[in-house]
Structure 1
Amino acid sequence: MDLAQLLADQDGVVCRRQVLASGGVDHDVRRRLRRREWAQVHTGVYVHHTGPLTWRQLHVLLPAQRRVDPVLGVRAVRRIAYEQVVHPSRRPRTVTVEHAALTVAVAARTVDAAVAALADVCQSRLTTPERLRRHLESQSRVARRGLLTAVLDDVSVGAWSALERRYLAQVERAHGLPGADRQRRVRPCGSAAYRDVDYRARQVVVELDGRLAHGAPGQRWADLDRDLAALVGGDITLRVGWAQVLQPCRLAGTVGRVLAARGWTGRAHACSRRCPAGGSPSPGDRDPPR
């Protein structure tokens, strides 16, 4: 195998035996070490950088029956159902995307981080919510199963980021706004684009911008071009970010009024006694989820 491809497949880790098998010689290894292109982490084991090792370069999954001597700096995790979580054909062997994503989601410190772990791999088309759900159901003991199932349900309808899921749960559902299409493919400027939240019947689009800064000028101009193209077609675009979604009651009231101005006969209802989005809260309403 080509050495560059091997390094890419193994997250920058390679052993002397693999270097020799790919056509290299010991002199090549010594040259890279001397030039500080590589660093030695164990005898005969190298990484293609000189900085701290990443968790992917430190963690190794082993079958439960396998016994190895402990190695400083390497975390070996044993698993009984080893073959169920390892990709069947990749070499060197790696865990499946589904197992890796769910492992990260379980260990996430916040709900938003768990959402990001699952939504990112789906948005990148590395897997699908259905495949993640099947893997989750195949595991007998998983912490936060209820939360992960709910997150996958939302990802499957197009809530592909923590911001989008917060809007779906805390703005739209919590305040009784009509259900929207999500990730709808359109071609407003001749090229394909996807609308985050599209209330098609009322021609109202909500674009959720999770960037903490303004982003590249080119991206910002492209967003504005799409907004103008949507307006020419009769659609009004509400572009909101974290500052607005973190005030879900206020945002729900705004979106509800815009929808009403475009023919929606319903109204946003209050999600709690303190909620200003609608009138009096419905019987049984509770405080919004945090």
Structure 2
Amino acid sequence: MEETKASSFVELRRQQAGAFSRAQALAHGISDKVLLGRRRARQLQQVHTGVYADFTGPLPWETRMWAAWLACGAGAVLTGTTALRRYGVAVESRDERIHVAVPHSRRVEPKSGVVVTRHRRLSSLVQPSRDPATVRLEVALLVIAAGEADVSRQAAVLFDACRQRRTMPARLLTELESLPELPGRRILRRILSEAAEGVQSFLEQVYLRRVEQAHGLPRARRQVRVEDDGKVSYRDSEYSPYEVIVELDGQLGHADAASRWRDMTRDNAAATSGKVTLRFGYQLVSDPCGAAVQVIAALRFRGWTDTPHPCSPTCPVTPTR
């Protein structure tokens, strides 16, 4: 019986990256006296009150994550960037702290390296069958986005997750409705509506808002799937009736020679089929009106007859041909 308990405790610690709680130790027949002796012999270390690691030295992230969750007690749930890391979603963050949510009715003492937040209806936000308990992916993304002070960073968090195919705008919009207390819901809803339309980056958002919508351009199709010699690619925006394509080159994915070659190959393939490609980079942010002038010229050359409009008194866009 004792051997069975010992082996099961070894397996438990393995599953928890070496972390374990005092309660778990007692349940496996390990007394406080034994724990104290092993601490003095430097066979384990205390991470938080009542939580230990079965080794000494620096603690890996996985061990710190389990230790924080165990230390926060009943109903604790991983959230924020910690949850995203558990889901394998890449986020631009230097925050190495462990983020844990607890039911609103509970208060948890501050713990080193741990961010604890309290939530109402927390149990309804948990992803079933995950150990340790973790909020759903969409909840974690929305919480992180809502915590960003800059709207462009909010958009980046949500666009990146959708572009990585980790979730879909429709799922995020549905989850947003289940978080009535989340700050900035109106802005998040607009970002997700744009994502549902095919916007996948901050630059694409700038193009949609400040070039296309601000100047009365026709609505483009977005993320248009193209297959050439068995290779699939996606065009950022395409005005199909006029055979005009707009590609938006962000800082990532277009800086190396291989990426530039792929872009040129794609543009040339479009040209051979009678389509014209306009390509814009981050100058779009500082001069959206200049980009609009170029797109309007291409559309007019290809037969667009509707009337654009200037976005301001100093805008160079003219409503006449």
Global fold match (TM > 0.5): yes
| Equivalent residues of 1:253, 1:268 under 8 A apart | no
1:164-243 correspondence to structure 2 within 5 Å: 164-211=204-251, 215-243=255-283
Instruction: Give 3-state SS (helix, strand or coil) of 1:47's partner.
Output: coil
Q: Deviations over 1:25-73 (max 9, x none)?
A: xxxxxxxx9xxxxx99656346327xx9963642111122345443222
Q: 1:223 to 1:41 in 2, by over 3 A?
A: farther
Shift of 1:249: 0.9
Structure 1 counterpart of 2:172: 132
Instruction: Give 3-state SS (helix, strand or coil) of 1:153's partner.
Output: helix
Q: Which amino acid aligns with 1:89?
A: S
| Equivalent residues of 1:120, 1:160 under 8 A apart | yes
Q: Which amino acid aligns with 1:176?
A: G
Size of the aligned set, in residue pairs, is: 256
Shift of 1:191: 0.4
Distance 1:274 1:264 in 2: 24
Instruction: Give 3-state SS (helix, strand or coil) of 1:126's partner.
Output: coil
Q: 1:242 to 1:88 in 2, by over 3 A?
A: same
Shift of 1:189: 4.4
Structure 1 counterpart of 2:85: none
Q: Which amino acid aligns with 1:115?
A: A
Distance 1:206 1:260 in 2: 15
Answer yes or no: is 1:58 the counterpart of 2:70.
no
Structure 2 counterpart of 1:284: none
Alignment equivalent of 1:15, drawn from 15, 19, 23: 19
| Equivalent residues of 1:171, 1:245 under 8 A apart | no
Alignment equivalent of 1:44, drawn from 36, 40, 52: 52
| Equivalent residues of 1:208, 1:240 under 8 A apart | yes
Q: 1:75 to 1:236 in 2, by over 3 A?
A: same
Distance 2:15 2:173 in 1: 31
Distance 1:2 1:163 in 2: 49
Distance 2:180 2:126 in 1: 17
For the pair shown, which has the larger CA radius of gyration, 1 or 2? Answer: 2
Answer yes or no: is 1:113 the counterpart of 2:121.
no
| Equivalent residues of 1:252, 1:268 under 8 A apart | no
Instruction: Give 3-state SS (helix, strand or coil) of 2:228's partner.
Output: coil
Answer yes or no: is 1:151 the counterpart of 2:191.
yes
Distance 2:234 2:319 in 1: 34
Q: Please give the TM-score of this superposition, normalised by the length of structure 2.
A: 0.71
Q: 1:120 to 1:227 in 2, by over 3 A?
A: same
Q: Percent identity?
A: 39
Alignment equivalent of 2:123, drawn from 79, 83, 95: 83
Distance 2:315 2:186 in 1: 27
Q: Please give the TM-score of this superposition, normalised by the length of structure 1.
A: 0.78
Task: Name structure 2 gaps, 5 residues minimum.
Answer: 1-9, 26-41, 66-93
Q: Which amino acid aligns with 2:187?
A: L
Q: 1:228 to 1:48 in 2, by over 3 A?
A: same
Instruction: Give 3-state SS (helix, strand or coil) of 2:134's partner.
Output: coil
Distance 2:103 2:95 in 1: 19
Q: Deviations over 1:121-162 (max 9, x none)?
A: 111111111111111112222222221111111110001111
Deviates more, 1:214-223 or 1:190-199: 214-223
Task: Name structure 1 gaps, 5 residues minimum.
Answer: 8-12, 21-32, 34-38, 281-290
Instruction: Give 3-state SS (helix, strand or coil) of 2:127's partner.
Output: coil
Deviates more, 1:198-207 or 1:105-114: 105-114
Q: Deviations over 1:208-233 (max 9, x none)?
A: 11116952211111111111111111
Q: 1:179 to 1:40 in 2, by over 3 A?
A: farther
Distance 2:240 2:254 in 1: 28
Distance 1:222 1:162 in 2: 22
Structure 2 counterpart of 1:162: 202
Q: 1:16 to 1:140 in 2, by over 3 A?
A: closer
